[in-house]
Structure 1
Amino acid sequence: MPFCEVGRHQKTDGAAANTATGIQIFYRTYGKGPIKVLMIIGLAGTHDSWGPQINALTGTVRPNDEESSVEDPSGGEATGVEVCAFDNRGMGRSSVPTKKSEYTTSIMAKDAIAIMDHLGWRKAHVFGHSMGAMISCKLAAMVPERISSLALLNVTGGGYECLPKFDRQTLSIVLRFLRAKTPEQRAAVDLDTHYSQEYLAEYIGLKTRRAILYQEYVKGISSTGMQSKYGFDGQINACWTHKMSRKEIESIRMAGFPISVIHGRHDIIAQLCHAKRLAERLYPSARMVELNGGHLVSHERTEEVNKALLELINASQSRTNLYEWTNLSVKNSGGCYSDAKKIIFLSFVVIDISLVLLFSSAGKASQLTAWRAASSSFILESVEKLQIFILYFFGLFALAFQHLRRGVMRLKPVKVEAALTNTFPCCFCILPSPVQSSNPVFELHSPNMETLAADVTTVARNKWGFRCNLEVDYASEEVARMVYAALAVDKELQPDKVKRHMSVSKGKLSVDLEAVEARFLRASYSAFVDVLTLATKTIEEFGQGLIQ
C-alpha cells in the first residue's frame, strides 16, 4: 500500500521543520499522463469519495498500485491525466494524531505538498471538497507557483462560516448525529447532510435513491470503520480555525491560474453565500458554478461537476484570459453581508442628501466636503466592525454548542429522570423497571405471540392498527415543553410506516405512536426513548448548571 511519511510541520522554518514524526498519509494514484491532478477530500471522507471524478478524468477507478491493474487503451494513457487522491490525517488508512494542535488546514496543506514532492510532481491541478477545499486554498497560498488550476467544491471561509443553516431540519440532523453509534445510524444521518431531499426521493427502478445509497453507505462505513474521536475532533478543529487572510487571498488571486468555485444550492452544511463571497474575493480568477444539489454535489450532479472540472483543466492548458474565464461581474459585492452593507450605505445616502440641502442653503460647502470624507471612512469602519461582531457572536455560539455536545457525548443515557405515570401496551408491553421505581428505566418486552396474533386479527382492517401511548410526568410545565420542543425536531425516518403525536398538559408529556406493523412500532419506540432520554438528561443537566 502506498504511504507518504510527512514531516513535523511547525511554525518555525528551521531544519527541525522536516523532522519525521511517523505520521503517514495513505494515497493512491490513477491513470498515466503529463497532466497531474491532486484531489483533497473533506471532513470524515476518504480518497475513494472522488470515484466519479477519477473515472471521468482517467477512464478507470483501479489504482496504479494494484497488481491486477493492466494497461487499458481507453484509460489514463488516452486522456493523459494522472490523479492522486489521499486520506487526510485522522481518517481512513492515514495516521491519526491525538492532539488537536496537529490538525489545521495549514498543516494538512503541507501534507499535500509532501505528497506532491513524494510523487515528483512539480505542478498540479488541485481539486478540494468542503474541508479539502479549505486545505486547497492554504496550499495555493503557500505555493502558488505549483498550482495549475484550483477547484473549490462546497467551500466556506472557515470559522463561523462552517456553522450550518440553523433550522428545524438541521436541529433534527444534529440530534440524530449525536446518537449515531452504528454504521446504520451514521449512514442515515450522512444521507441527509450530503444530498438534497429531492434527489433522495427520486426512484431508480422500484427503489428510491435513499434506499440504494443507504446500503452503499452502510457497506462503506462498515468497511472503513467509524472515524475515531481524535480524528473527528481534530478535523473539526481544522475547519473551525481555518481563515484566509487578505494577503493569502491576494497571493492566490494574483498567481494567474483559473479557479472554479462549485457549489450546491441546497447545501445545508456549507452555505452558498459564503462560497459566493470567496469567489468574489478571488475575482477575476474565479468562476462561480451553482448547481441544484446538496453538500456532496460531486456525486449528486456528477456530469455537471465533471464538465466544470474538465473546462477548468482546458482553460489552464490553453492559458485562457482570466477576464474571459470569470462569470462574475462585480468584485467583492459583499456575499453574506451584502444586505447589511446596503442598509448602511442607503442610510448614509439619505443623511448625505439631507446635509447637502442643509449646507447648500447655509453656504457651507467646505464643511460638507469634510463630512463626506469622514463619513466614508466611518462607513468602512462600521462594516468591518459589524463583520467582526457577527464573527464574535457566532463564535461564542459555536463554542457553547461544542461544549454542550461534548457534555452530551459523555453521557450514557439509560434512564429518564421523570415519573412514568401511564402506559397503554397494545402489541407489546412498555413497562418501567421494577428495580428503581423513582427513576424508572424504560424496557421493551417482547409480546406474547398468541396475544399479538389476536391483536392483529382485531386491527386487520385498520392500516394504523399497531399503537402504544406513553405519558411522562415532569412535574413542571416549562420542563415538559422544553423536552417537547427538543423532540419536535426529531422526525420519524419512515413517516409512511410510523406516526407520532405529542402533546403537553399540566407538566405531562403525552406521546402516541402508531405503526402499520409491530416491527416498525418496536423500532420507532426504541429510537424515540433514546432521544427522549437524551433530551431529558441534557435539559436536566443544563438546569443544574444554571443553579450552580
Structure 2
Amino acid sequence: MSHAIAADSARIHYTALGSGGDPLLLLSGQSLDHRMWAGVDTALARRHRVILLDARGTGGSDTPEPPDGAAGYTTRLFADDALAVLDALGIGRAHVYGFSMGGRVAQVLAAMAPERVGALVLGSTGPGGTLEAARPPEATRALRRAASPEGRDAVADLFFTPAWGGAHPGIVASILPANTRHAQRLHYAASSGHDAEGLLGAIRAPTLVLHGGDDLLTPAANAGILADRIPGARVHIFPGARHGYLHEARPEADGAVLDFLAAHPLAAAPPGVPEALSP
C-alpha cells in the first residue's frame, strides 16, 4: 500500500493503473474511496496512467482532525492532498477528473495550481455557494441519513435508476459511504462549505463538464452554471442518467472522457502554463 505524506503529516493512500499515456488523477465523491471508480478506472487506464487516491477520512488514508479547530475538512485541504500524491509519484502535471465533491476539489486544484493541471473533467458537480443550483430537500435528507440502511437505499436511488441499480449491486455498494460517521461529517463540511465563485473564471485548463440529466443530488442545472463561468468549457449531458452517470451511462461516458483528453494532450499547455513542465 502506497502513501503520500500531506503537509500535516497525514498519510494519503494512492494507487496507480496503466503504464503509458498521460497521467490522469481521479478524485472521488464525498465519503467515497477509490473503489467508486471500479471499471471506469480500468477503461481509462487503457490510454492513461491512472492515479487513484483515498481522500483523507476514507479507505486507506488517515483521518486526522481538521486543522486549527475547524468544523470539518475543506476542498482546499483535499486539493493540497492531491498535489502531495502527484509529488510522491514525481508527476509535474496531470489531467484531472473529479466526480461530485471530487469535482469541487478539482475546481480548486485547477484554479490554485494551473501549472499542475492539463485537461479538467468535472462530473456531477457544482460551484457551491450562492451560484449552486440547490438540490431538493428530500435529497439532502437522504444524504444526511446515508449511514442508516434506509439512507443507503435512498442514496443509491439518487445515484442510479432503480432497475439499473438492482442489476448492478456491486457498483451500488461501491458508491455508498466508505468511512465512519465522524469522517462523513468532516466530508459533508468540505462539500457544503465549497464556494468557487471567485475561482471558476481563473481556470485555464480545457474543461469538460459531464452530468446526468436526471440528477437530483446535484441538479443538472449546475453543469451550465460551471460552463458559463469556466472559459471555453464544454458540457455533455447524459439524458435519463442520475448522479452516477459515470457507471450507468457507460460506455458513452468513458468515450466522452477519453476523446476529450486525446484532444488536449499534456504536450499542449493551456495559456499561461509552461510547456516545459514534465508529466
- For the criterion TM > 0.5, the same-fold answer is yes
- SS of residue in 2 equivalent to 1:279: helix
Q: 1:233 to 1:177 in 2, by over 3 A?
A: closer
Counterpart in 2 of 1:313? 261
Larger Rg: 1
Equivalences for residues 390-405 of structure 1 within 5 A:
none
Show structure 2 runs of 5+ residues with no match. 272-279
CA distance in 1, matches of 2:84, 2:142: 38
Instruction: Say whether residues 1:289 and 2:275 are aligned partners.
Output: no
- Percent identity at matched positions? 27
Alignment check: 8 A CA contact 1:97 1:231 kept: no
Alignment check: 8 A CA contact 1:151 1:259 kept: yes
Counterpart in 2 of 1:51? 38
CA distance in 2, matches of 1:190, 1:179: 7
Counterpart in 2 of 1:4? 4
Equivalences for residues 17-416 of structure 1 within 5 A:
21=9, 23-59=10-46, 79=47, 81-99=48-66, 100-101=70-71, 103-159=73-129, 161=132, 163-166=134-137, 170=138, 174=141, 178=145, 180-182=147-149, 185-196=150-161, 200-201=162-163, 209-214=164-169, 217-218=172-173, 227-246=179-198, 248-252=199-203, 255=204, 257-284=205-232, 286-292=233-239, 293-317=241-265, 319=268
Relative to its length, the structure with more helix (as a share) is 1
Q: 1:104 to 1:180 in 2, by over 3 A?
A: closer
Q: 1:312 to 1:282 in 2, by over 3 A?
A: same
Shift of 1:116: 0.5
Which AA in structure 2 matches 1:165? P
Larger RCO: 1 or 2 (CA < 8 Å, sep 6+): 2
Q: 1:229 to 1:179 in 2, by over 3 A?
A: closer
Alignment check: 8 A CA contact 1:43 1:131 kept: yes
CA distance in 2, matches of 1:298, 1:141: 24
Which AA in structure 2 matches 1:53? V
Alignment check: 8 A CA contact 2:127 2:197 kept: no
Which TM-score applies when normalising by structure 1?
A: 0.45
Alignment check: 8 A CA contact 1:187 1:214 kept: no
Show structure 1 runs of 5+ residues with no match. 9-20, 60-78, 202-208, 323-548
Give the count of matched residue pairs: 265
CA distance in 2, matches of 1:215, 1:37: 24
Counterpart in 1 of 2:276? none
RMSD across aligned C-alpha pairs, in angstroms? 2.7
Alignment check: 8 A CA contact 1:191 1:214 kept: no
Counterpart in 2 of 1:519? none
Counterpart in 1 of 2:277? none
Shift of 1:189: 2.3
Q: After the TM superposition, list the runs of 4 or more consecutive aligned residues in structure 1 that deviate by more than 6 angstroms.
A: none
Alignment check: 8 A CA contact 2:177 2:184 kept: no
